[in-house]
Amino acid sequence: MTYQPFVSIIIPTYHDWARLALCIQALHHQTYPKDRFEVIIINNDPGDQVPEGYALPDNFKLIGEGKPGSYAARNAGLALARGEVVGFTDSDCIPHQNWIESAVDMFSTGNVDRIAGKIELIYADEKAKTWVELYESIYSFNQKRAVEVLKASVTANLFAKKELFEKVGGFDSDKKSGEDIGWNRRANAYGFNLIYGDKVIINHPARSTFKEFRNQKLREFGGKKEFRLRNAKGIVKNLLFLPYLFYKIVIHKTIGLFSQTKQLSVVEKVKVAGVNLYLYLIIVPEFFRLLFGGKRVR
């Protein structure tokens, strides 16, 4: 490898020290030269003390960011990043050993601005997936589809040239969810390309329980949903939101599940359809709770 830019890896974390330790270990054993990359970890609750005996390799640093939200944390990391290339992952992810090297190989061609890396889900038991794991296997982290359809990448596995942030700007730190798509769309508007990297791989544990699923989906919903009730149009949109959501989640997704999904058995599809219905049923009360001033789930 002749092209060896300095790379900055940015990882936000929030009360997740045990899984972060696995991510750190995977990054410490990267095939890319250790003197050519740094890892910046941002603790999004500075009051949460680092566990005793928690050691970081020499090219790792840990900082705090008090403003809530992973995007505020990522911006704090960007402010310190020294790399020509910036990579993002999350504290619950485990990068493959050649993760950074594979991304650099793609950038070395000279015509790549951003890379949406592949995300492989891992399960507690590959042969006996839970209802939620089956749902995740169909709907979660399809980076190839995200590139082709949304022209975007989630920040669990995203690389970009540092110069893009100098032109596009950082993430919207007021957002709690969905800003992965928002930032990528702004980068698209500048004409920066996005390439799917099927060899730039991280593993991500699939959520396996309804409790994990509920917490994640409510956090995601609260981060994206905005209530605009100041005019008639805003009121009508919110009145129609729940019927629209029922169609989108319960009807449309389930029809697609049974008509297009080939890798699941009929029984497994019924389970995933059940999770679709469960998703709608937990969002309805959350919609009204937030509508009347409830605090967003973090």
What confidence score (pLDDT) does residue 131 get?
A: 96
Total count of residues recorded for the chain = 298
Rounded CA Rg of the chain: 20
**Residue 87: both structure tokens together:** 């990579």
Compute the C-alpha angle 143/8/2, nearest 5°.
90
Helix (H, G, I), strand (E, B) or coil at 115: strand
How would residue 202 be classed by pLDDT, with cut points 50, 70 and 90? very high
Is pLDDT larger for residue 33 or for residue 3? 33
Non-local CB neighbours of 192 within 8 Å, separated by 6+ positions:
113, 114, 160, 164, 168
What dihedral do alpha carbons 91, 210, 174, 71 form, nearest 10°? Answer: 20
Non-local CB neighbours of 285 within 8 Å, separated by 6+ positions:
none
What confidence score (pLDDT) does residue 294 get?
A: 84
What confidence score (pLDDT) does residue 203 get?
A: 97
Cα–chain center distance at 275: 21
Compute the C-alpha angle 23/25/27, nearest 5°.
70
The model carries a pTM of 0.87
Fold of 7-205: Spore Coat Polysaccharide Biosynthesis Protein SpsA; Chain A (3.90.550)
Q: Please count the other Cβ atoms lying within 10 Å of the Cβ belonging to residue 81.
A: 21
Non-local CB neighbours of 183 within 8 Å, separated by 6+ positions:
168, 170, 171, 172
Nearest C-alpha neighbor of 86 from the set 163, 177, 142: 163
Tens digits of residue pLDDT in 138-186: 998 899 999 999 999 999 999 999 999 999 999 999 888 889 999 999 9
Mean pLDDT of 242-246: 92
Residue % of the chain over a pLDDT of 70 = 96
Treating both helix axes as pointing N-terminal to C-terminal, what angle do 253-260 and 266-291 enclose, rounded to 10 degrees?
160
| d(C-alpha 224, C-alpha 220), whole Å | 6
Amino acid at 246: F
What confidence score (pLDDT) does residue 59 get?
A: 97
What confidence score (pLDDT) does residue 1 get?
A: 67
What confidence score (pLDDT) does residue 229 get?
A: 62
What confidence score (pLDDT) does residue 168 get?
A: 97
Lowest mean pLDDT of 13-22, 75-84, 175-184, 288-297, name the range.
288-297
| d(C-alpha 157, C-alpha 189), whole Å | 21
- DSSP code, position 246: I
Pure H helices in 246-294? 253-260, 266-291
Q: Strands, E, within the chain: which ranges?
A: 7-13, 37-43, 60-64, 85-88, 94-95, 114-122, 158-161, 194-205
Average pLDDT of the chain? 93
Q: Where in the chain is the domain with CATH 3.90.550.10?
A: 7-205
How would residue 260 be classed by pLDDT, with cut points 50, 70 and 90? confident
What confidence score (pLDDT) does residue 281 get?
A: 96
